[in-house]
Amino acid sequence: MNKLFTSIFIILSLSFCTLFAKDSYGISVNGGRGSTVDIARLGIQKDFESVVYSNETFNIKGFHELGLNYWNGNRKNISAVSYSPVFVIDFNKYTTQGYKPYVDFGIGIAFLSDTLIDDKNMSSSFQFEDRISLGITKDNIDMYIRYMHYSNGGIKKPNGGIDMGLIGFNYRF
C-alpha cells in the first residue's frame, strides 16, 4: 500500500509541476512529532493566481499544496497523500532587512494508507488536515513552526485524531 501512495504522489507531483511550470511553485520539507508518532512531510506548492487582499500593513495570498506524509509510530508506520489550499498573511509593515514574518492556515484532506497507528484509531482513511504556521521569509526561502491536526471530523467513530508540532522550510522557484 505504501508503494501505491508513493507512486500516486510522484505521478501527481510531476503532473503538478509540468502543468504549472510557468507559474510560481515551490517545495516544502517539514517534520515533527505528535503523541508517539513522528511525521515527515514533503510538499509541492503552486501559488494562487493572484493576491486575495492587500494593503500597506499586510497581504493575504495563498498556495495549493500536494503532500506526501510518512508517519513513523513506535509499533507501526503509515503513509498519506494530502491536498490543502493554504492562506498566507504576509506582514509587509514589519519587514526588516528583507525578512518578513507571516502566518499561514489551511484546511485540506488526506488519505491514509492505514487507519491504525500505535494507540490511535483514525477510523477512516479519509482525514481532514488542519494547519496553522508562524514563519519568517526572505527572498524565496522561508522557515516556520507549524501545528497540524488530522481527524475525520466525526464522519466515522471513533474519531481518534492526532495533533502534531512540526518545523520546516519552503523554497520557491
**Residues forming the active site:** 149, 151, 163
The set of cell numbers assigned to 98 is 528583507
N-term to C-term CA, the chain: 32
Provide the 10 A C-beta neighbour count for residue 157: 10
- Block residue for cell numbers 508518532: 37
Q: Where are the beta strands (DSSP E) in the chain?
A: 25-34, 37-47, 53-54, 59-72, 77-90, 100-112, 116-117, 120-121, 126-138, 141-151, 162-172
- Residue 127 CB: number of other CB atoms within 10 A? 26
